[in-house]
C-alpha cells in the first residue's frame, strides 16, 4: 500500500534523474512556465478590471447637448433674466445695460437649482437659502462664490451660441474674459 | 447503550434516523465534543463560535449591537427582495411604484419596514462601533477586524445613500445631487479636487465634468435616469454582495481572534 503511494515518478521536479529526459519538465522549466503563467494571469485580471472601470464611462449620453443656440440677441429684453432655458439646458440668459451672458443654474453652495424671483430681483436657492444678484454675485446665505458663467458667442446665422463646456468663475477674474459675455 | 427501544425518547430516536444524520452529520450531541462538532459541521453555524464565554451573552457589555446589525441586514434583504417585485427603477415609474407599494400593495408596511430597518441599521452599526471602541476591542489581535468593520460601516452608509434616491421624489433627487457633489472635490479623480488640473496633456484636461469619479457614479453630468438605474443596481446587487463577503470575514475573524472580547 505504502509503496504504491510513493510510486508515481513523473511528479514535477521531484527527481533529478527524470529531468535529464528531454520530454520531462525540469525544475528550471517548471519555474519558467510558472512565472509565465502568473504574468499571463495577472495581466488578464488587470486588463479585465481596467475594462470594467472603462465600462462605467458611457460614450453616448442621453442628456441635453452641451453646446446649443438660444436665439437672436434681440430676443432678449434689456435688464431681464430669461428663464426659458432653465429647465432644458440649465442656464439663465441675462441681459444688462451692455452685454448678454449665460449664468449656470447650479448653486455654488451644494449644487441645487435656485429660482429667479422677479419681484425681489434675485436668485434664491430653495435648499439652504443662498441668494444671488442678477449678475450672479452672491449676497446672502451659505453660497461661497458667485454663479458661474458659460461661454457665449454669435454663430454664423446670427444666433447666440452657448457652450457649457467652458465656464468662467468670478473669483478667478474670468468674467473679464471677452468669451464670457456678448456685447450688444 | 443498553437502552431498550421502548425507553428511548422521541428526540433520541430522531437523532438516530438516517434523515437527521444525513443533514446534521452527527447524532443528537451528548458530550461537549459532540456539541462542538455539531457547530463545526454546519456551513451556517461554523462561522459562529463553537462555545461562548459567559460574558459574551451579557447585554450590558456587548449591547448586542453587532448581532442586531446583522439581524437588520437580514430583515432588509428579505423586505428588499419583496419590494423588488413591484419597484421599477425608471424615471417614469419609480415614484408612482413607491406610492403603489405603500398604498395599494397588500402589507404596505413592507416598504416602511425596509425604510425603518435601514435607519435602524445605520444607528446600530454606529453604536456597535462605539461599543467596540469604548471597550478597547479594536486592539491587537483584533485590529484587522476593526478595519473590516470600518469598511462594513462605509458600505452600510453607502447602501443607505443609494437607497435614498430610489423613491425619486424631490427630497431624494436633491439630497443625492448635494451628496454626489462631494465627489467633485475628490483629489485627482474629481474634476474640482486638488491635483485634478495636473492630470492634463497640454491644454486638454483628462479629468473633467464628463470623465471624473462623480461622472462614473451618476452615469452622466447630473442626477438623471442613468443615475437612478446605477443606484438601483448598486443598492440591490453590488453593495450587498460586497458587504456579505466582508461580513463573513468579519464573523470568522471574531472566532479566529480569540472570540468576542471580554471585560478587562
Give CA torsion, residues B174, B175, B178, B179, to 10 deg. Answer: -150
Q: Is the pLDDT of residue B262 over 80?
A: no
Examine the domain organization and report whether A83 and A122 are in the same domain. Answer: yes
Q: Is the pLDDT of residue B1 over 70?
A: no
Q: How far is CA A123 from the centre of its chain?
A: 26
CA closest to B220 among chain A residues = A61
Separation of alpha carbons B257 and B251, rounded Å: 10
The packing angle between helices B225-233 and B170-181, to 10°, is 80
Q: How far is CA B207 from the centre of its chain?
A: 32
A24 versus A129: the higher-pLDDT residue is A129
Cell of B137: 476591542
Contact list, A63 vs chain B (CB under 8 Å): 220-222, 224
Residue B116, class by beta-carbon neighbours within 10 Å (0-12 exposed, 13-18 middle, 19+ buried)?
Answer: middle
Q: How far B119 CA lies from chain A's nearest CA (Å)?
A: 23
What does the pLDDT look like over B152-188, one tens digit per residue? 999 999 999 999 999 999 999 999 999 999 999 999 9
- Which residues of A have a CB under 8 Å from any CB of B? 53, 56-58, 61-63, 90, 110-112, 127, 165
Give the DSSP letter of residue A105. Answer: -
Torsion sign (Cα): B91, B96, B101, B106:
negative
Contact list, A58 vs chain B (CB under 8 Å): 219-220, 226
Examine the domain organization and report whether B130 and B208 are in the same domain. Answer: yes
Q: Please report whether residue A62 resides in a domain.
A: no
Q: Please report whether residue A115 resides in a domain.
A: yes
Percentages helix, strand, coil for chain A (3-state, rounded to 5) are 30, 25, 45
Q: Please report whether residue B148 resides in a domain.
A: yes
What does the pLDDT look like over B241-250, one tens digit per residue? 999 999 999 9
State which residues form the domain around A124. Answer: 67-183
State which residues form the domain around B77. Answer: 58-256
Contact list, A62 vs chain B (CB under 8 Å): 220, 225-226
pLDDT for position B154? 97
CB half-sphere exposure, B229, CA atoms < 13 A? 10
Q: Is the pLDDT of residue A2 over 70?
A: no
Examine the domain organization and report whether B40 and B71 are in the same domain. Answer: no
Residue A20 — pLDDT band, cuts 50, 70, 90?
A: low
- Sequential DSSP letters for A50-89: HHHHHHTS-SS--S--SEEE---GGGS-TTEEE-TTHHHH
Separation of alpha carbons B87 and B228, rounded Å: 12
Examine the domain organization and report whether A18 and A108 are in the same domain. Answer: no
B87 versus A7: the higher-pLDDT residue is B87
Examine the domain organization and report whether A35 and A124 are in the same domain. Answer: no
Question: CB distance B178–A127 less than 8 Å?
Answer: yes
pLDDT for position B28? 76
Examine the domain organization and report whether B62 and B31 are in the same domain. Answer: no
Q: Please report whether residue A130 resides in a domain.
A: yes
pLDDT for position A172? 92
Examine the domain organization and report whether B166 and B233 are in the same domain. Answer: yes
Contact list, B209 vs chain A (CB under 8 Å): 165
| CATH (domain of A79) | 2.102.10.10
Examine the domain organization and report whether B235 and B115 are in the same domain. Answer: yes
Domain tally for chain B? 2
Examine the domain organization and report whether A43 and A77 are in the same domain. Answer: no
Examine the domain organization and report whether B80 and B31 are in the same domain. Answer: no
Q: Please report whether residue B4 resides in a domain.
A: no
Examine the domain organization and report whether A45 and A71 are in the same domain. Answer: no
Give the DSSP letter of residue A165. Answer: E
Examine the domain organization and report whether A49 and A106 are in the same domain. Answer: no
Examine the domain organization and report whether A27 and A101 are in the same domain. Answer: no
Examine the domain organization and report whether B91 and B23 are in the same domain. Answer: no
CB half-sphere exposure, B188, CA atoms < 13 A? 0
What does the pLDDT look like over A104-129, one tens digit per residue? 999 999 889 999 999 999 999 999 99
> Which of B14, B33, B243, B32 has the alpha carbon at shortest distance from B24?
B14
Q: How far A89 CA lies from chain B's nearest CA (Å)?
A: 12
Q: Please report whether residue B135 resides in a domain.
A: yes
B52 Cβ under 8 Å from any chain A Cβ? no
- For B83, other C-beta atoms within 10 Å of its C-beta total 21
B231 Cβ under 8 Å from any chain A Cβ? no
Q: Please report whether residue A81 resides in a domain.
A: yes
Q: How far B25 CA lies from chain A's nearest CA (Å)?
A: 30
Q: What is the mean pLDDT of residues A134-152?
A: 95
pLDDT for position A145? 95
Q: Please report whether residue A167 resides in a domain.
A: yes
Q: What is the mean pLDDT of residues A94-101?
A: 92
Q: State yes or no: ipTM above 0.90.
A: no
Q: Phi and psi (nearest 5°) for A49? A: -70, -35
Examine the domain organization and report whether B24 and B96 are in the same domain. Answer: no
B222 Cβ under 8 Å from any chain A Cβ? yes
B199 versus B55: the higher-pLDDT residue is B199
Examine the domain organization and report whether A39 and A95 are in the same domain. Answer: no
Question: CB distance A112–B221 less than 8 Å?
Answer: no
- Sequential DSSP letters for chain B: ----GGGS-HHHHHHHSHHHHHHHSS-S--SHHHHHHHHHT-TTGGGS-SS--GGGG-HHHHTTHHHHHHHHHHHHHHHHHHHHTT---STTTHHHHHHHHHHTSSSTHHHHHHHHHHHHHHHHHHHHHHHHHHTTTTSTTSHHHHHHHHHHHHHHHHHHHHHHHTT-SHHHHHHHHHHHHGGGGSTTTSTTSTTGGGSEETTEESSSTTTSHHHHHHTSSSSSHHHHHHHHHIIIIIHHHHHHHHHHHHHHHHHHTTSS----
A141 touches A150 (CB < 8 A):
no
Question: Does an H or E element contain A39, and which?
Answer: helix A27-55
Percent of chain A whose predicted confidence (pLDDT) is above 90: 73
Examine the domain organization and report whether A93 and A130 are in the same domain. Answer: yes
Cell of B43: 456551513
Q: How far B131 CA lies from chain A's nearest CA (Å)?
A: 34
Q: Please report whether residue A60 resides in a domain.
A: no
Examine the domain organization and report whether A32 and A99 are in the same domain. Answer: no
| CATH (domain of B77) | 1.20.810.10
Examine the domain organization and report whether B32 and B114 are in the same domain. Answer: no
Examine the domain organization and report whether B192 and B243 are in the same domain. Answer: yes
Examine the domain organization and report whether A44 and A6 are in the same domain. Answer: yes
Examine the domain organization and report whether B133 and B198 are in the same domain. Answer: yes
Examine the domain organization and report whether B211 and B110 are in the same domain. Answer: yes
B9 Cβ under 8 Å from any chain A Cβ? no
Q: Please report whether residue A123 resides in a domain.
A: yes
B215 Cβ under 8 Å from any chain A Cβ? yes
Domain tally for chain A? 2
Tell me the longest C-alpha to C-alpha distance in chain B: 92
Q: How far are the Cα atoms of A99, A104, B131, B140 from residue B135, in angstroms, in the given order?
A: 66, 51, 6, 13
Q: Please report whether residue B9 resides in a domain.
A: no
Q: Please report whether residue A96 resides in a domain.
A: yes
Examine the domain organization and report whether A30 and A100 are in the same domain. Answer: no
Contact list, B224 vs chain A (CB under 8 Å): 63
Separation of alpha carbons A103 and B208, rounded Å: 19
Amino acid at each position: 500500500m505504502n509503496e504504491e503511494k510513493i510510486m508515481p515518478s513523473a511528479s514535477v521536479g521531484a527527481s533529478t534523474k527524470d529531468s535529464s529526459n528531454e520530454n520531462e519538465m525540469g525544475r528550471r522549466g517548471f519555474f519558467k512556465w510558472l512565472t509565465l503563467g502568473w504574468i499571463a494571469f495577472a495581466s488578464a485580471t488587470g486588463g479585465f478590471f481596467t475594462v470594467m472601470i472603462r465600462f462605467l464611462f458611457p460614450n453616448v449620453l442621453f442628456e441635453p447637448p452641451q453646446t446649443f443656440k438660444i436665439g437672436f440677441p434681440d430676443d432678449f429684453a434689456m435688464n431681464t433674466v430669461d428663464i426659458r432655458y432653465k429647465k432644458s439646458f440649465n442656464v439663465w440668459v441675462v441681459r444688462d445695460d451692455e452685454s448678454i451672458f449665460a449664468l449656470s443654474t447650479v448653486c455654488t453652495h451644494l449644487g441645487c437649482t435656485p429660482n429667479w424671483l422677479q419681484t425681489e430681483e434675485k436668485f434664491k436657492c430653495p435648499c439652504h437659502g443662498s441668494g444671488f444678484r442678477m449678475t450672479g454675485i452672491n449676497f446672502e446665505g451659505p453660497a461661497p462664490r458667485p454663479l458661474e458663467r458659460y461661454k457665449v458667442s454669435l454663430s454664423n446665422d446670427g444666433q447666440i451660441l452657448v457652450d457649457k463646456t467652458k465656464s468662467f468663475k468670478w473669483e478667478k477674474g474670468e468674467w473679464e474674459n471677452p468669451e464670457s459675455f456678448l456685447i450688444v | 447503550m443498553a437502552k431498550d427501544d421502548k425507553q428511548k425518547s422521541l428526540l433520541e430516536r430522531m437523532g438516530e434516523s438516517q434523515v437527521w444524520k444525513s443533514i446534521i452529520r452527527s447524532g443528537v450531541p451528548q458530550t461537549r465534543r459532540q456539541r462542538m462538532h455539531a457547530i463545526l459541521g454546519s456551513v451556517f453555524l461554523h462561522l459562529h463560535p463553537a462555545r461562548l464565554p459567559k460574558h459574551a451573552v451579557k447585554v450590558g457589555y456587548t449591547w448586542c449591537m453587532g448581532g442586531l446589525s446583522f439581524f437588520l441586514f437580514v430583515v432588509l434583504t428579505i423586505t428588499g427582495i419583496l419590494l423588488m417585485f413591484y419597484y421599477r427603477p425608471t424615471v417614469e415609474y419609480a415614484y408612482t411604484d413607491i406610492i403603489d407599494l405603500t398604498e395599494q400593495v397588500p402589507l404596505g408596511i413592507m416598504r416602511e419596514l425596509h425604510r425603518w430597518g435601514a435607519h435602524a441599521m445605520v444607528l446600530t452599526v454606529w453604536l456597535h462601533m462605539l461599543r467596540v471602541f469604548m471597550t478597547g476591542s479594536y486592539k491587537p489581535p483584533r485590529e484587522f477586524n476593526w478595519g473590516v468593520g470600518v469598511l462594513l460601516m462605509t458600505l452600510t452608509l453607502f447602501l443607505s445613500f443609494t437607497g435614498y434616491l430610489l423613491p425619486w421624489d424631490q427630497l431624494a433627487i436633491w439630497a443625492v445631487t448635494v451628496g454626489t457633489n462631494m465627489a467633485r472635490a475628490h483629489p485627482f479623480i474629481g474634476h474640482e479636487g486638488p491635483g485634478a488640473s495636473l492630470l492634463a496633456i497640454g491644454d486638454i484636461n483628462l479629468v473633467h465634468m464628463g470623465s471624473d469619479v462623480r461622472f462614473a457614479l451618476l452615469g452622466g453630468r447630473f442626477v438623471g435616469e442613468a443615475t437612478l438605474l446605477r443606484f438601483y443596481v448598486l443598492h440591490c446587487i453590488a453593495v450587498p454582495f460586497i458587504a456579505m463577503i466582508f461580513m463573513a470575514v468579519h464573523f470568522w475573524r471574531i472566532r479566529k481572534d480569540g472570540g468576542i472580547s471580554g471585560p478587562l
